[in-house]
């Protein structure tokens, strides 16, 4: 019998497909006169799925009195969508808005107190979602992807050219209605991959291990066409339009989402807060860095969106 806190499987519609999500409700259940809990909407980063360690964060928030809606994007994980593992920035942003709308509709939560939480590539989505939805009450962007040009510079020129050729080939395959041309999400330095920083592949492997997943259970390739979008994607620019409190959890040793760009964008958020960690991009999900970041995020949440308690 599992000792994991209870959660339920739910689905919501985004576009023509249904996204799968886990719904966590506070344990123990709040007293009837305490009011419904705030809800934290959560999703993963580049090519990531909710099974990659997001439960660890959701369970901590749940234990502190928050509901959590943790979802997979269309085309990924347990969600619908063809072709599989299609990484579309536009569709993922649509999924975020659909998830927030669904969270607001849930009778078990306080739909007026929705928080968005994103990590890595989804950290950028959390910033743009909060900027576009004035009713979001708080946001957390963890080791966030904020500047595609800065991230693209972490890949060697030769690898960039090879990824670009794969992207053009994938677009041609799409026009000819052929199967996608795929590229690895993470690889060794110099390999053709969307991320090939020295710690990228080992970081993914550690995430899999911490999530009790094998490499065979985690698709490590996506249609290459997204490689042409990423360098032009700069969600950090939306930080200046985020009116709610927003926490930027920044890793000083981040080799995937360079911290200098994130700090520059975070400084423009009217109610932004920045906490920095002596950690790499993938370190923050486990061990002492995880304990530090989740504690800081809970302090931020309880300050700005405290769970209601019975009078």
- Domain boundaries 8-149+234-304, CATH class: alpha beta
Location of structure tokens 């920083």: 197
3-state DSSP assignment of residue 263: helix
* 194 in Cβ contact with 222 (< 8 Å): yes
Per residue of the chain (311 residues), what is the pLDDT tens digit?
456 678 999 999 999 999 999 999 998 666 666 789 999 999 999 999 999 999 999 999 999 999 999 999 999 999 999 999 999 999 999 999 999 999 999 999 999 999 999 999 999 999 999 999 999 999 999 999 999 988 888 887 888 889 999 999 999 999 999 999 999 999 999 888 999 999 999 999 999 999 999 988 888 999 999 999 999 999 999 999 999 999 999 999 999 999 999 999 999 999 999 999 999 999 999 999 999 999 999 999 999 999 976 44
Going 56 to 201 to 157 to 88, the CA torsion angle's sign is: negative
| Rounded CA separation 57/140 (Å) | 12
In DSSP notation, 51-101 reads: TTTHHHHHHHHHHTT-EEEEEPPTTSTTS--SSTT---HHHHHHHHHHHHH
In the chain, at which residue ranges do the beta strands (DSSP E only) sit? 8-14, 17-24, 39-43, 67-71, 114-119, 138-142, 182-186, 193-195, 221-223, 246-251, 272-277
Q: How many CB atoms lie within 10 A of CB 178?
A: 11
Q: How many CB atoms lie within 10 A of CB 28?
A: 7
Domain ranges of the chain: 8-149+234-304
| Rounded CA separation 43/41 (Å) | 7
How, if at all, do strands 67-71 and 17-24 pair?
A: antiparallel
- Tens of pLDDT, residue by residue over 136-157, are 999 999 999 999 988 888 887 8
Q: Which of 174, 172, 170 is nearest to 223 (CA)?
A: 170
* 186 in Cβ contact with 203 (< 8 Å): yes
Tell me how many degrees the CA angle 19-226-190 measures, rounded to the nearest 5: 125
Q: 277 CB contacts (<8 Å, ≥6 apart)?
A: 249, 250, 251, 252, 283, 284, 289, 292, 293
| Rounded CA separation 224/231 (Å) | 13
């Amino acid at each position: 019998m599992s000792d994991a806190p209870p959660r339920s499987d739910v689905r919501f519609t985004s576009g023509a497909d249904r996204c799968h999500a886990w719904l966590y409700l506070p344990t123990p259940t709040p007293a009837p006169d305490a009011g419904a809990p705030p809800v934290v909407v959560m999703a993963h980063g580049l090519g990531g799925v909710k099974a990659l360690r997001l439960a660890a964060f959701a369970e901590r928030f749940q234990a502190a009195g928050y509901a959590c809606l943790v979802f997979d994007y269309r085309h990924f994980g347990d969600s619908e969508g063809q072709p599989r593992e299609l990484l579309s920035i536009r569709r993922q942003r649509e999924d975020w808005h659909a998830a927030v709308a669904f969270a607001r509709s849930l009778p078990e939560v306080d739909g007026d107190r929705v928080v968005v939480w994103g990590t890595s590539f989804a950290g950028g989505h959390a910033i743009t979602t909060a900027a576009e939805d004035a009713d979001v009450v708080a946001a957390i962007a963890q080791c966030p992807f904020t500047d595609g040009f800065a991230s693209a510079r972490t890949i060697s020129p030769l690898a960039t050219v090879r990824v670009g050729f794969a992207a053009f080939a994938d677009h041609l395959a799409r026009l000819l209605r052929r199967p996608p041309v795929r590229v690895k999400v993470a690889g060794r330095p110099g390999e053709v991959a969307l991320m090939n920083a020295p710690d990228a592949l080992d970081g993914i492997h550690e995430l899999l291990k911490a999530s009790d997943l094998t490499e065979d259970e985690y698709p490590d390739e996506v249609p290459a066409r997204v490689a042409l979008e990423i360098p032009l994607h700069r969600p950090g620019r939306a930080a200046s339009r985020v009116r709610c409190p927003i926490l930027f959890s920044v890793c000083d040793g981040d080799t995937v989402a360079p911290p200098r760009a994130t700090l520059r964008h975070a400084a423009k958020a009217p109610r932004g807060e920045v906490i920095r960690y002596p950690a790499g991009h993938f370190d923050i999900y486990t061990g002492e860095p995880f304990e530090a970041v989740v504690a800081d995020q809970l302090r931020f949440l309880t300050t700005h969106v405290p769970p209601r308690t019975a009078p």
